[in-house]
């Protein structure tokens, strides 16, 4: 082992340790920022170490890539608004997957188009390009749906699941063949192409509200692709960092699926929401009790305990600052306000927390479901802002409902419920929500941001 190799390996070891410390710091909100700065330092150490690699003969392309990547990455870090975070995360999975896939393809190509690829390396390369390629297109589709370029409703057609399965099975078949005989370039490139197509067909039938699961899964795949790169080129820091990312995405996927009471397969192949006829009950003959911002202001102005339930509607109308302003007023009048955050509220894990933190809501007021659910019965007002399925009591009682069994927030147990909603259109799942028709529920129709601004103004004047 030369001195140079020792130095590079030491840099990688240091980087791996700093990454783990960085992730560990995320278990403690107060120390998270410092911890992630250490992880960034670890990344720098790893890059500097790599630049000393003995096989590197020229630096012009490397520096050009580093410069171009910085020019593109810096604005993506600094200027992207918090409301665009789901699509920002989705597109970053795509970039990570492109890097892993291209390294895999280049590695296969340079080793005599498979002639000099030993079988174990072929196995690693296969995983790398399979996971990588499907993550590239899958993430791009997710990005398109979240950004509104593509319809966020599930896109389905007859035989879709069979078609997807056929593509997947063929790609895996080619993979197995390649591990047996690596030197078949056509099979390799066909496998990459099929994985790209599979990524599209995987995300196409998935609707907006299922995005938290899909983004988490793609996060996991991007990590596994990085890890497989590490196996292919024999680099431990890649294996470790990729495994951390893979594990993280996996854990998040589990948490998200549980929060919807659904399995992975159900999310991926169920095309939730495509069949509104599945909804068990309709709302015919029921009436809602609509109120004005003035009425809401009176109730909220005198409430002692208010629980706010934010949903995707809050993100859409970017109402987080008005929410915070209302909460400050209620607190000034002597009431208390906490926020009840459902794990799948919004379009990605933690979406609501980020938006409310941006509006300067202290994080100890952002309560997880289990923590806050018993408090609803003591609340004077539950203020539901643009959330629907996560407060639908049908999940508890109606066995015929598609969301039956999903853990929900007990907003209906509050003495008074005020629901802010754009219109009476049913939520994403196309399911009627009994909560809206209850005696203790009042509906405040309109854009959440404007409604909240009016309520705030009324309370200030009153």
Partner 1 sequence: MHGLQLLEIYVFVLAGFVGFFTITRVPALLHTPLMSATNAISAISLVGSVVMAGANYGLLATVLGFVAVTCATINVVGGFIITDRMLKMFRRGGRPEAKK
- What SS3 state is found at 76? helix
Binds partner 1 by CB under 8 A, chosen from 4, 7, 10, 76:
76
We find the least distance from the C-beta atom of residue 173 to partner 1, in angstroms, to be 21
We find the least distance from the C-beta atom of residue 75 to partner 1, in angstroms, to be 8
Question: What gap in Å lies between CA 212 and CA 255, rounded to an integer?
Answer: 10
Stretch that binds partner 1, among 60-68, 275-283, 385-393, 430-438 (CB under 8 A): 60-68
* Contact call for residues 343 and 313 (beta carbons, < 8 A): no
Distances from the Cα of 440 to the Cα of 295, 419, 422, angstroms: 14, 11, 19
**Catalytic residue check, 389:** yes
Residue 418 C-beta-side C-alpha neighbours within 13 Å: 27
> Contact between 357 and partner 1 (CB under 8 A)?
yes
DSSP 346: S
Stretch that binds partner 1, among 80-88, 150-158, 309-317, 398-406 (CB under 8 A): 80-88
Residue closer to partner 1 (CB basis): 36 or 288: 36
Question: What gap in Å lies between CA 443 and CA 439, rounded to an integer?
Answer: 11
Binds partner 1 by CB under 8 A, chosen from 87, 96, 131, 205:
96
Q: Residue 367's CB: how many other CB atoms inside 10 A?
A: 16
Question: What gap in Å lies between CA 163 and CA 169, rounded to an integer?
Answer: 10
| Length in residues, the chain | 462
We find the least distance from the C-beta atom of residue 54 to partner 1, in angstroms, to be 9
DSSP 407: -
> Contact between 389 and partner 1 (CB under 8 A)?
no
Structure token pair of residue 207:
């609707």
Distances from the Cα of 419 to the Cα of 32, 293, 382, 436, angstroms: 35, 11, 8, 8
We find the least distance from the C-beta atom of residue 414 to partner 1, in angstroms, to be 22
* Contact call for residues 379 and 306 (beta carbons, < 8 A): yes
- Binding characters for partner 1, 211-250, by CB under 8 A (x = yes): ----xx--x--xx-xxx-xxx-xxxxxxxxxxxxxxxxxx
We find the least distance from the C-beta atom of residue 169 to partner 1, in angstroms, to be 24
Identify the active-site residue in 389, 398, 412, 434: 389
Map the footprint of partner 1 across residues 304-333, applying CB under 8 A. Answer: none
* Contact call for residues 440 and 377 (beta carbons, < 8 A): no
The size of the interface with partner 1 (CB under 8 A), counted in residues, is: 117
> Contact between 55 and partner 1 (CB under 8 A)?
yes
* Contact call for residues 343 and 256 (beta carbons, < 8 A): yes
Binds partner 1 by CB under 8 A, chosen from 83, 100, 197, 311:
100
> Contact between 45 and partner 1 (CB under 8 A)?
no
We find the least distance from the C-beta atom of residue 112 to partner 1, in angstroms, to be 11
Map the footprint of partner 1 across residues 248-267, applying CB under 8 A. Answer: 248-252, 255
Stretch that binds partner 1, among 161-169, 360-368, 419-427, 441-449 (CB under 8 A): 360-368
Residues acting as catalytic residues: 389
């Amino acid at each position: 082992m030369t001195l140079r190799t020792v130095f590079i390996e030491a840099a990688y070891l240091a980087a791996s340790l700093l990454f783990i410390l960085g992730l560990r710091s995320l278990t403690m909100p107060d120390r998270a920022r410092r911890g992630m700065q250490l992880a960034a330092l670890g990344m720098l150490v790893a890059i500097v170490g790599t630049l000393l690699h003995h096989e590197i003969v020229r630096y012009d392309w490397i520096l050009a890539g580093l410069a171009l990547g910085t020019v593109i990455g810096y604005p993506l870090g600094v200027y992207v608004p918090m409301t665009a975070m789901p699509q920002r995360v989705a597109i970053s999975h795509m970039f990570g997957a492109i890097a892993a896939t291209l390294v895999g393809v280049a590695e296969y190509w340079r080793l005599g188009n498979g002639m000099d690829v030993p079988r174990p390396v072929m196995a690693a390369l296969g995983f790398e390009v399979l996971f990588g390629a499907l993550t590239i297109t899958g993430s791009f589709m997710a990005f398109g749906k979240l950004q509104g370029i593509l319809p966020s409703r599930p896109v389905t057609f007859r035989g879709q699941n069979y078609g997807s399965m056929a593509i997947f099975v063929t790609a895996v078949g080619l993979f197995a063949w390649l591990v047996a005989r690596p030197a078949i370039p056509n099979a390799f490139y066909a496998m990459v192409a099929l994985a790209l197509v599979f990524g599209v067909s995987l995300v196409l039938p998935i609707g907006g509200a299922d995005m938290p699961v899909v983004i988490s899964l793609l996060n996991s795949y991007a990590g596994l692709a990085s890890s497989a790169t590490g196996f292919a080129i024999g680099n431990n820091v890649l294996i470790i960092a990729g495994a951390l990312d893979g594990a993280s995405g996996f854990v998040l996927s589990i948490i998200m699926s549980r929060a919807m009471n659904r399995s992975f397969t159900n999310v991926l192949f169920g095309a939730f929401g495509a069949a509104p006829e599945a909804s068990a009950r309709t709302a015919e003959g029921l009436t809602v009790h609509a109120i004005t911002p003035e009425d809401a202001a009176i109730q909220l102005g005198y409430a002692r305990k208010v629980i706010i339930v934010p949903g995707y509607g809050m993100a859409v109308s970017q109402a987080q600052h008005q929410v915070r302003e209302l909460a400050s007023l209620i607190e000034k009048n002597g009431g208390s306000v906490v926020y009840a955050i459902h794990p799948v509220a919004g379009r990605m894990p933690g979406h609501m927390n980020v938006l409310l933190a941006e509006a300067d809501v202290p994080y100890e007021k952002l309560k997880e479901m289990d923590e806050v659910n018993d408090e609803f019965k003591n609340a004077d007002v539950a203020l539901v802002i643009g959330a629907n399925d996560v407060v639908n009591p049908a999940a508890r009682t109606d066995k015929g409902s598609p969301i039956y069994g999903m853990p929900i927030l007990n907003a209906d147990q509050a003495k008074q419920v005020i629901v802010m909603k754009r219109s009476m259109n049913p939520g994403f799942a196309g399911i009627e929500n009994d909560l809206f028709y209850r005696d203790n529920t009042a509906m405040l129709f309109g854009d959440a941001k404007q409604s909240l601004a009016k309520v705030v103004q009324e309370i200030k004047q009153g």
